[in-house]
Amino acid sequence: MAIKLRVVGIFFSKADIEITKSPMSVKDVLDQAVSSPPPNTAFSYGAISKQGRESPSVFSAKYKSRRESQSSKRGYPAGEYVLAEDLISRPAYSVWQFYLFEPGLDGGLGAPINPASRQIVVDPNATPGSRFAEYGNTEVKDNETVIWRLINVLAEKTELPPSIPAPTS
């Protein structure tokens, strides 16, 4: 009985996060990974609070030995890997977003799960789809996987460099 966690970009992965309570939230999964990281690894995250709601803004993993990317299989030297949100930059800003997946065949990823269907406590004041409402209130079940990705979002239109032709239509 365990939950899997991956944080893309800092090469962090833990496949055996214990279910310590029921229901177990995405925040609980992160806290378990911080308190019980894989061998030769330190893992942490920092959160921001907005309107009384907390959301991760930075993830960090420190490795005592070489790491291999799960997707590219490329090796990375021992050391600390940190990625943080950037909510200021324009035309694009970056923000952490999590995804839930059902268990798949042979330990792989199964179908994605809509986090809105897993709210532990429904907050009537939450903006629909808000990650602030989901992070601490989304249930994760046995054998499921949580994946965090740092994504870029355009906040305004962009100008193409002269060497790139504009799309037609």
Digit-coded pLDDT (tens) for 30-41: 999 999 999 999
Give Cα 65 to chain centroid, integer Å: 23
Whole-number CA gyration radius for the chain: 18
pLDDT tens column, 44-91: 999 988 777 788 999 999 999 998 888 888 999 999 999 999 988 888
pTM: 0.84
Q: Decide if 3 contacts 19 (C-beta within 8 A).
A: yes
Q: What is the pLDDT of residue 133?
A: 44
